[in-house]
Amino acid sequence: MIYRRLFDLPTYRVRSPFDELERMRSQMDRVLEGFQGAPVFRPTAGVFPAVNLTEDKDRYYVRAELPGIKSGDLDIQVTGNNLSISGERQTGADVEGARYHRREREGGRFSRIIGLPGDVDPEKVDARLVNGILTVSIAKAEATKPRQITIS
């Protein structure tokens, strides 16, 4: 018996139909061990600005985090069912010869296109930038608004 195991000779035992499933389960357990303790959601680098999209019966609301950006540095456009937010973020002057220990804030141009769930009226768009939060309010097209139907 030892001779067979040392030299990888086949054993003559009856194999169960579940042996292969057990081998696959143990391999999956080894793969999934690497994911334990890791957070389920990790933000993707480079997605700026972070946005929330909500709606009520008449309007869509897009709220975007834009700290340190002035309203004059933004370009907001509504085309079809898409809202485009673009601009440039300045991080300040880098100190000559500085050695970074951590660099998480990046500067430069950015652009984000948010798909809206329904038709909109591009003539009725309002935008406000208060304390680094951009709020864009977009009116829904009349055809997509829910109508109250009275029963006669």
> Domain spans of the chain?
2-33, 51-91+108-143
Residues 95-126 pLDDT 10s: 788 888 887 777 788 899 999 998 899 899 99
Instruction: Enter the pTM of the model.
Output: 0.62
The tens place of each residue's pLDDT in the chain, 152 residues long, gives 555 555 555 556 667 777 888 888 888 888 887 676 655 554 444 568 899 999 998 999 999 999 888 888 899 999 889 999 999 887 776 778 888 888 777 778 889 999 999 889 989 999 999 999 999 999 998 876 667 778 87
Structure tokens at 43: 């933000």
Q: How far is CA 4 from CA 8, 106, 121, in A?
A: 6, 62, 78
Smallest CA-to-CA distance from 63 within 51, 72, 74 is with 51
List C-alpha distances in Å: 42 to 36, 38, 39, 47, 106: 14, 9, 7, 12, 18
Residue 59 has a pLDDT of: 93
Residue 61 forms beta bridges with which residues? 54, 137
Amino acid at 132: G
The CATH number for 51-91+108-143, chosen from 3.40.50.1700, 2.60.40.790, 1.10.1200.10, 2.40.128.50, is: 2.60.40.790
Distance CA 111, CA 69 (A): 13
Q: Would you say 86 and 108 are in contact if contact means Cβ atoms under 8 Å apart?
A: no
Q: Which two tokens stand for residue 58?
A: 């008449």
